[in-house]
Amino acid sequence: MRVVTQAMPGARSASVAIFVPVGSRHEDDAHAGLSHFLEHLVFKGTREHPEAGALSQVVESVGGSVNASTDRELTVFSSKVPAERTDVALHAVSELALHPLLRHADLTSEKPVIADEIRMYVDSPSDHVFTLFDELLYGRHPLGREIAGTIGSVRRATHAGVVGHWRAAYRPSGMVLAVAGAIDHDEVVRSASDWHAAGPPEEGPARRPPVAAPAPQAAPRGALR
């Protein structure tokens, strides 16, 4: 795991983030939206905090926050806490990225939640216009899809597919840990080293579906809906 820190001795807080190098552009049509699905599922329970919401409560109990986001290139797990509780933020992001439970029942219950999220984007002109722009720009390439996939791809998602996606992409050796605030670089490095030693085994190189480059645009494109 690569570690990047910025010590800010005068700060009263610390911000921690783990960047996982996987997003919607790394998904083929059959697995559209799995990266975003994973972002949802990890909050349903982790190794040390198996109940949904329990990990967030731990962070909030020290005056902090924890969040996550999925983009086309990356998935990010982040936490901000008072500087003296940096250990809590480090623990939180490591649990989410490295030790999610990914239970079958949670996948089933989360499908309608994500489907509603997709509908919300479609119903919002200010959000949907960007999806339309990407479709016109990239065509059928994964970059032209909504990051969350489609309602159909979410419904078709399987437990084996989600777990396989996590095992293939969520490898400590490919992640970046970034920490800024009133922190100690050596302590952060020690934490990352411990995670790597205790994390899930890495089975060969990271696997990603082959994705061709977007086709060159030969003529103007337009959409009317």
Task: Give the start-to-end residue ranges of the domains of the chain.
Answer: 2-198
pTM of the model: 0.87
Please give the pLDDT value at position 210: 55
Average confidence (pLDDT) over 120-135: 88
Asked if 42 and 97 count as a contact pair (C-beta separation under 8 A), the reply is yes
Rounded to whole angstroms, the Cα distance separating 55 from 203 reads 28
Does the active-site annotation cover 117?
no
Q: Which two tokens stand for residue 69?
A: 């986001």
Is the CATH code 3.40.50.920 the one for domain 2-198? no
Catalytic residue, chosen from 27, 39, 110, 146, is: 39
The yes-or-no verdict on residue 219 having pLDDT over 80 is no
Indicate the average pLDDT of the chain: 90
Please give the pLDDT value at position 139: 84
77 φ, ψ to 5°? -115, 125
80-104 pLDDT, tens per residue?
999 999 999 999 999 999 999 999 9
The yes-or-no verdict on residue 222 having pLDDT over 70 is no
13-60 pLDDT, tens per residue?
999 999 999 999 999 888 999 999 999 999 999 999 999 999 999 999
